[in-house]
Structure 1
């Protein structure tokens, strides 16, 4: 049996410039982090000459073409594996909440299947092939940041080039700054799940009319990278987050909702420095940055929603368990 653990991600600035509608014209960029909530994928031998895939439902298929789980099916094709396999997926956070779960699944699935074959892979290959599966094969109208954030982990400035290549640059940060950043952030669940594909499709179709705003959003990713370097400046980080919030809301496309806007304004009145709605928007998790002593007031101001911890995952997708190999 092989088990992989792949982080979800939080993107702080530049979201939307990883879509080809933007980066085919000029480079896009995001500042993102792998976070300590994960997708787990297991792969093990199966006695029957079928493939069993267990996720929110269970499939038993007598051929790859009959597998309905699209990412599992295409990952099996890409890695050249098929029958006699048991595959399971378990995520810490539900899909549709803005933390890049589908891309973490694609990266983790590929990592597990390659490990089952005895092949060592690189983060770059995992991210590139996950993009091929999600974007080129399955035709999802998504960007290219989530796959790279999941594969690499850590804190990265990720640049998307017009020729479709991607550059991943780790951001040098003092450990003290990252420790304080972790303590300043709340992840609040809006209790709304959404189809990111719908929002991203609208954004792709409307990007030509929003290039100036998207350009400013991309440039904020560079500002955040500079802010995190050296001694790090939490006040500047919060200011840039708030500026990014205003820019992203101005795009429209259903990115925010009246309820989320009310939460954000209430959090600001209670002492939040800045924040953002994770992922494409429309629901999911609201990230709020504030001094720890203001956290309780913010929770009260927004009605004490469910929340999850924020920790930076510095390692990316990895194999965490390998049992003795045997086949039937």
Structure 2
């Protein structure tokens, strides 16, 4: 961490924060509908190391991308000025500035190991790591929920991706051994027991290596479809539609919009059922069928899966998984499978062979456990070097 910061900026960081990626146990495409979600942070994450500057410049570098830092004066920082991965970090600074917080020149170095394109929310991990690091660096004393909203606004309004608030919440608020129950209407949260090892279980992520296809446009299209349904049905959000209301929805909405509504409504019910089982201390194997039902709904009603995702779920179930489903926005990315400890090799064998037989990319499989949310990490004392001296181009 420090060596690469020094390579980029010629000094040492003042402090650093790390935020995790996440899986979503269940509750997909419900967060922007005021619904329920149940994510869990994972051990893969992004570290943001920062140091103050005195010249009003924002400089952003990445250990993974390399090359020269992105450099922009704070007084001209605006959407479209910064491109690529650096835009997510710049968006956090921009949103803090937009809120009237006392921002200043800063060097930001990013170093992460969340698999890119796997649907594990590397972008939210980056945003939350930067937000928490800058909150401490500048003494802003913002509460965690405000930092979550700052991170979301960076992605929505600066980068231009209309994501919900689940990913940033998971990166900020999760606790090890638990999933995070989030009611996205009032932002109430609660830690739900999710210590799978005690039951001889683990979650395996299957990164299908399928590139996200038209994800930005399709994601926005799904959101518009939900908003259209709300207008016609006379509700503020699909959260207000229950199972008993689906018949009326199908009577007044076109078939495609009706299916979108059905997914959101039934997915909310699956989240609540899963939480009830986990809260009651039931064997987590009991939530497996809910995971699989979620995937079927995402495939048939919400239409956000691709052959790689469907194949991975099918193969995981054939290999003995208790449940499996796609995670993330869809159109590529990853599947999670709930399996007995010790079945990882069998799962990998079946999933890989099935993908090869269907001439799909070879997937990558790795276990994840429920980890802590954002936290400070140690940096060496800045003896013998100074960071952020304020000289552009140093």
Distance 2:283 2:71 in 1: 53
Please state how far the C-alpha of 1:235 moved relative to its aligned partner: 2.5
Change (3 A) 1:62 1:289: closer
Segments of 4+ moved more than 6 angstroms: none
2:216 matched to 1:158?
A: no
SS of the residue 1:97 aligns to: coil
Contact 2:309 2:333 in 1 (8 A): no
Contact 1:142 1:197 in 2 (8 A): no
- What TM-score, normalized by structure 1, do the two folds share? 0.86
Distance 2:327 2:162 in 1: 17
User: 1:259 matched to which residue of 2?
Assistant: 308
Change (3 A) 1:182 1:198: farther
1:73 to 79, 90, 96: 90
Change (3 A) 1:181 1:280: farther
| Cα deviation code 1:10-68 (max 9, x no counterpart) | 1122211111xx33xxxx11111111111111102458774321122533425133651
2:363 matched to 1:305?
A: yes
- What TM-score, normalized by structure 2, do the two folds share? 0.73
> 5 Å matches for 1:11-26?
11-19=24-32, 22-23=33-34
| Cα deviation code 1:286-321 (max 9, x no counterpart) | 2111222433222111117322231111x3111112
2:377 matched to 1:320?
A: yes
2:30 matched to 1:52?
A: no
2:202 to 170, 184, 188: 184
Distance 2:69 2:379 in 1: 24
> 5 Å matches for 1:25-44?
28-44=35-51
2:167 to 146, 166, 186: 146
Distance 2:73 2:91 in 1: 12
Contact 1:13 1:218 in 2 (8 A): no
| Cα deviation code 1:80-133 (max 9, x no counterpart) | 3343x3211122123322111111211111111111113444321211221222
Change (3 A) 1:34 1:250: same
Distance 1:185 1:43 in 2: 33
Distance 2:334 2:133 in 1: 28
| Cα deviation code 1:179-237 (max 9, x no counterpart) | 24684221122112326423311221233312122111011111111111132222211
Change (3 A) 1:46 1:219: same
Change (3 A) 1:196 1:320: farther
Contact 2:211 2:333 in 1 (8 A): yes
User: 1:243 matched to which residue of 2?
Assistant: 293
Contact 2:200 2:340 in 1 (8 A): no
Alpha-carbon RMSD across the aligned residues, in angstroms, is: 2.5
Distance 2:30 2:284 in 1: 24
Contact 2:316 2:324 in 1 (8 A): no
Please state how far the C-alpha of 1:324 moved relative to its aligned partner: 5.4
Gaps in structure 2 of 5+ consecutive residues = 1-13, 230-256, 353-361, 390-394
Change (3 A) 1:197 1:182: farther
Distance 1:276 1:88 in 2: 34
Gaps in structure 1 of 5+ consecutive residues = none
Change (3 A) 1:2 1:217: same
Distance 2:155 2:199 in 1: 32
Change (3 A) 1:277 1:243: same
Q: Report which stretch shifted further, 136-145 or 146-155.
A: 136-145
2:16 matched to 1:3?
A: yes
User: 2:223 matched to which residue of 1?
Assistant: 204
Contact 2:89 2:130 in 1 (8 A): yes
Contact 2:22 2:171 in 1 (8 A): yes
Change (3 A) 1:59 1:80: farther
